[in-house]
Amino acid sequence: MRLVGVGKRYVKYEDAPMLVTRLAGLRTRTRRSSLWAIRNVDFELQRGDVLGVIGRNGSGKSTLLRMLAGVTAPTEGTVMVRGRVAPLISVGVGFHPELTGRENVYVNGTILGLSRQEVDRRFDEVVDFAEIPAFIDTPVKFYSSGMFVRLGFAVAVLAEPDVLLVDEVLAVGDIAFQLKCYDRMQQIRDRGTTIVVVSHNLNAVRLLCPRVMVVHDGAVRFDGAAEEALALYHDLLGPQPDEAATIDEERAAEVEEFLLLGADGSDSSTFSSGEEVRIRLSVRFLEPVNGVVFGISLVSEEGVPVYSDSTNWEGTGTFSTGQRAVFEAGFRLSVPTGSYTVGVGLRRADRPVSLARTPRPRMIYVAGRHTVNGAADLGARFRVADHAGPDEAV
């Protein structure tokens, strides 16, 4: 698979094109504007390569995937793909809603270029993998989204395609199925299938893809090692939309540095669950201040406040003009896998006014155990008690 200088431009019509005026041959100037969804993409993938693509909504990653699938042609440049490309698997797989699961398997198999006999041969395996034997003869419009995705994934790997394109599919389905998908993808990768994964689920990308591409504003910003890509992605995500500034700001101080220190004492954007982290805020005071409240917050990707805390409300310390101070807050990151934002704030103790311009929150990524779900990782220790004998730790 090779892409050379690939770009895709969409033309947006300001007015709907009018059949009548076209027919009448009237030269009505249709106002239109064009937009490059993505430009200057060059990369090459060999058999068995796995590439992750991350980027915000509207960054151009879906357009890129569509071009790889051959569904849409590039406006400039060349897309070359050798081998059989599986359908783009995503939440709305290419299924006909009125057809049953069984019929859709056959239709998709045929689209992939398999003969009826070949589909027959692999049919049981597909149903087995999708875990829907009871519903295989039900029209897929009655399927739950989980069943839909399971069948979609099963069908896509059915043909043992040379290229597998995965779009956000891993966000759906329970953990057990996700793990099963990872295993399956690793299997087919080992057999030489090239895989491209597009996802917001950074954990999935990190697990699956040694190589990650960051797409931002229609351009490839980075293409390389996963860790670096994730860190860059977090930097690009800001500035976050201001969470409605609730209190006034004044310029009594200036934040010089906002660091997140991991267990090894260096600034980082990725941590592991349960790691001891320290928020460090270096501040220079521009006028004398008596009493400062230092607050921190941790918000999940979905915008759910996970934790917030502050120094006591009487405030700490007295500072004079030009004085520098370092505020630190250390805590244990006992949260499950995911992206979070860390926010900080400095407030006067005597009135509800922000002392300094609040630095923009930092995005972090926490990698944790697969089994954990929910807002916090409270670190359960499991054991199975055997009535016949003494307790045994599992």
Partner 1 sequence: MSGAFFELSGETGRLRLLLADTWKSRSLLWMLARKDFFVRYRRASLGVFWAAGLPLLQLIVLAVVFSRVVRIHSQVNYVTLVFAGLVPWTFFSTALASASTAIVDGADLSTKVYFPRAVLPLVSVGSAAYGLGINVVLLVAVAAFEGVPIRASFLLLVPAAALVGLLTAAFALVLSALHVYFRDVRYVVQAAMAVWFYATPVFYPFRLAQSHGLAGLLSVNPMAGVVQVFRAAVTGTDGALGLPLWWTGGWIAALFLAAALLYRRYDRVFVDLL
Contact residues for partner 1, defined by CB under 8 A = 10, 16-20, 22, 66-67, 69-90, 92-99, 103, 106-108, 110-113
**Residue 388: what are its φ and ψ, rounded to 5°?**
-75, -35
Minimal distance, residue 17 CB to partner 1, in Å: 6
Minimal distance, residue 70 CB to partner 1, in Å: 4
Complex with partner 1: residue 165 or 232, whichever CB lies closer: 165
Burial class (CB in 10 A: 0-12, 13-18, 19+), 17: exposed
Give the tokens for residue 341.
């934002």
Complex with partner 1: residue 22 or 383, whichever CB lies closer: 22
Complex with partner 1: residue 10 or 331, whichever CB lies closer: 10
Measured distance CA(377)–CA(337) in Å, rounded? 9
Residues pairing with 195 in the sheet: 50, 164
Minimal distance, residue 381 CB to partner 1, in Å: 45
Q: Are 359 and 346 in contact (CB under 8 A)?
A: no
Minimal distance, residue 18 CB to partner 1, in Å: 8
Minimal distance, residue 6 CB to partner 1, in Å: 9
- Can you tell me which residue has the tokens 């934790």? 307
Minimal distance, residue 56 CB to partner 1, in Å: 21
- Going by C-alpha positions, the residue among 212, 253, 252 that lies closest to residue 234 is 212
- Going by C-alpha positions, the residue among 237, 234, 233, 185 that lies closest to residue 51 is 185
The Cα-based distances of 281 to 247, 341, 346, 357, 363 in angstroms read: 20, 16, 10, 13, 16
Alpha helices in 220-371 (DSSP H): 226-237
Complex with partner 1: residue 110 or 321, whichever CB lies closer: 110
Minimal distance, residue 68 CB to partner 1, in Å: 10
The Cα-based distances of 344 to 211, 242, 326, 352 in angstroms read: 33, 13, 13, 15
Minimal distance, residue 141 CB to partner 1, in Å: 11
Complex with partner 1: residue 4 or 325, whichever CB lies closer: 4
Complex with partner 1: residue 156 or 213, whichever CB lies closer: 156
Give the tokens for residue 34.
């064009």
Complex with partner 1: residue 56 or 84, whichever CB lies closer: 84
Single-letter code of the amino acid located at 299? V
With a CB cutoff of 8 Å and minimum separation 6, the contacts of 257 are 280, 281, 282
Minimal distance, residue 85 CB to partner 1, in Å: 5
Return the ∠ at Cα 381 (arms to 304 and 392), rounded to 5°. 160
For residue 62, count other CB atoms closer than 10 A to its CB: 20
Complex with partner 1: residue 88 or 209, whichever CB lies closer: 88
Instruction: Tell how far CA 97 is from the center of its chain.
Output: 28
Complex with partner 1: residue 89 or 252, whichever CB lies closer: 89
H/E segment holding residue 270: strand 270-272
